[in-house]
């Protein structure tokens, strides 16, 4: 199955792009997808505890199973003032 993956903020800088597609196995979860990118970019690991994930533009738990054509976004915390 193919999914679209979006990276925001510092994650985009680490991965080197804002958007990428990924081929995943049936039954894969959002957590599995992030783990794949973390293997390629170990500097993503410290961000995991504070990240929020969305599936098809809705917040989703990390245990959420993925489906072909999903759009997954990894969102770091936002600060401002």
Predicted pLDDT of residue 78: 73
The pLDDT tens digits for 39-67 are 999 999 999 999 999 999 999 999 999 99
Predicted pLDDT of residue 80: 52
* Burial of 29 from C-beta contacts in 10 A (0-12 / 13-18 / 19+): middle
Q: Which of 70, 73, 78, 63 is nearest to 12 (CA)?
A: 73
The CATH number linked to 55 is 3.10.20.30
Q: Tally DSSP H helices, then E strands, for the chain.
A: 2, 5
pTM of the predicted model as reported, rounded to 2 decimal places: 0.92
Q: What is the count of structural domains for the chain?
A: 1
Residue 20 lies in domain:
2-75
Quick one: what percent of the chain has pLDDT higher than 90? 93
Distance CA 6, CA 15 (A): 10
């Amino acid at each position: 199955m193919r999914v679209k993956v979006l990276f925001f903020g510092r994650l985009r800088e680490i991965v080197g792009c804002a958007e990428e597609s990924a081929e995943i196995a049936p039954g894969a979860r959002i957590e599995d997808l992030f783990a794949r990118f973390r293997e390629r970019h170990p500097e993503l690991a410290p961000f995991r505890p504070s990240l929020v994930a969305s599936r098809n533009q809705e917040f989703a738990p990390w245990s959420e199973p993925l489906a072909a054509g999903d759009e997954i976004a990894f969102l770091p915390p936002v600060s401002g003032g």
